[in-house]
C-alpha cells in the first residue's frame, strides 16, 4: 500500500485473482475461437505497468491450457495523457514494445483498474498511432465505476462500486511485496 492508505476492504486475495484471470482467459479463447491458426491475427497488449503483468499471466494460461502461444505487446500511454496542465511533475515515460504489426489483428488491451476511462482513451490513441487493428477489446481486473468518458470494458474481473475519495490498489507479486486487491481510503494529511 502507499503511505497514507487506510485499508477499507480486501477485494481479492491471491487465489481469487488466479481464478478470475483463468475465467477471463477462458472468455478470450471462446470469443476469438483461439487456436494455432488464429494466433497470427490476435494479440494481447498490456498497459504499463500492472496491465503488463496481467497480460503476461493471461498469455501463460492460454499457452498452458490451450497450447496456443499468442503474441503480447507492452503499451505506455503517458505521452497521450490529457492531464498535462494539472500536474506539477511529469509522470515517467515507460517503454512501449510491440514487436509485431498490429494492423488487422484483434487486440485485447489489458489494464488493472478501469476508473474515469481517461487512461483507456490515451491507450486507444496510442494504439491508433501504431496501426489499424481489426478490433480492440478491453479487459480490466477491476471496474470501479465513476466514468468520465463513454468507455466500457469487454472483459471485467470484478465490478466494484466506489466513492470518488477511494482508491483501488492492485498488487502483483511480479513488482509488489504482496498479491491481491484492496479498497483503500486516503487520509487527508501525511501526518495523520
Q: Which residues bind another protein (CB under 8 A)?
A: 76, 78-81, 84-96, 125, 129-131
- Provide the minimum distance between the beta carbon of 103 and another protein in the complex, in angstroms, as a whole number: 10
Residue whose CB is less far from another protein, 77 or 142: 77
Helices (H), 33-172: 50-66, 118-130
Quote the CA–CA distance of 131 and 24 in Å, as a whole number: 26
Closer CB to another protein, 19 or 173, in the complex: 173
Examine residue 2 and say whether the peptide bond preceding it is cis (omega within 30 degrees of 0): no
Q: Which is nearer to another protein, 79 or 163 (CB)?
A: 79
Separation in Å, CA 122 to CA 7, 72, 116, 125, 177: 29, 19, 12, 5, 29
Q: Which is nearer to another protein, 88 or 192 (CB)?
A: 88
Contact 88, 100 (CB under 8 A): no
- Closest approach of another protein to the CB of residue 171, in Å: 14
Alpha helices in the chain (DSSP H): 14-32, 50-66, 118-130
Least distance in Å: CB of 101 to another protein? 10
- The residue among 34 and 126 lying less far from another protein, judged by its C-beta, is 126
CB of 55 to another protein, least distance (A): 18
Q: How far is the CB of 156 from another protein (least distance, A)?
A: 28
C-alpha–C-alpha distance, residues 155 and 20, integer Å: 11
Percentage helix, strand, coil, to 5, in the chain?
A: 30, 30, 40
Amino acid at each position: 500500500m502507499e503511505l497514507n492508505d487506510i485499508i477499507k476492504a480486501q477485494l481479492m486475495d491471491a487465489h481469487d485473482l488466479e481464478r478470475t484471470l483463468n475465467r477471463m482467459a477462458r472468455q478470450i479463447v471462446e470469443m476469438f475461437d483461439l487456436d494455432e491458426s488464429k494466433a497470427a491475427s490476435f494479440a494481447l497488449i498490456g498497459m504499463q505497468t500492472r496491465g503488463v503483468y496481467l497480460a503476461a499471466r493471461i498469455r501463460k494460461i492460454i499457452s498452458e491450457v490451450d497450447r496456443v502461444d499468442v503474441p503480447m505487446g507492452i503499451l505506455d500511454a503517458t505521452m497521450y495523457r490529457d492531464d498535462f496542465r494539472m500536474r506539477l511533475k511529469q509522470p515517467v515515460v515507460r517503454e512501449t514494445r510491440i514487436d509485431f504489426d498490429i494492423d488487422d489483428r484483434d487486440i485485447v488491451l489489458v489494464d488493472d483498474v478501469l476508473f474515469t476511462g481517461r487512461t483507456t482513451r490515451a491507450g486507444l490513441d496510442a494504439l491508433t498511432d501504431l496501426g489499424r487493428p481489426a478490433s480492440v477489446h478491453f479487459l480490466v481486473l477491476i471496474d470501479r465505476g465513476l466514468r468520465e468518458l463513454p468507455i466500457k470494458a469487454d472483459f471485467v474481473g470484478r465490478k466494484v462500486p466506489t466513492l470518488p475519495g477511494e482508491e483501488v490498489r492492485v498488487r502483483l507479486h511480479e513488482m509488489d511485496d504482496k498479491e491481491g486487491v484492496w479498497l483503500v481510503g486516503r487520509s487527508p494529511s501525511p501526518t495523520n
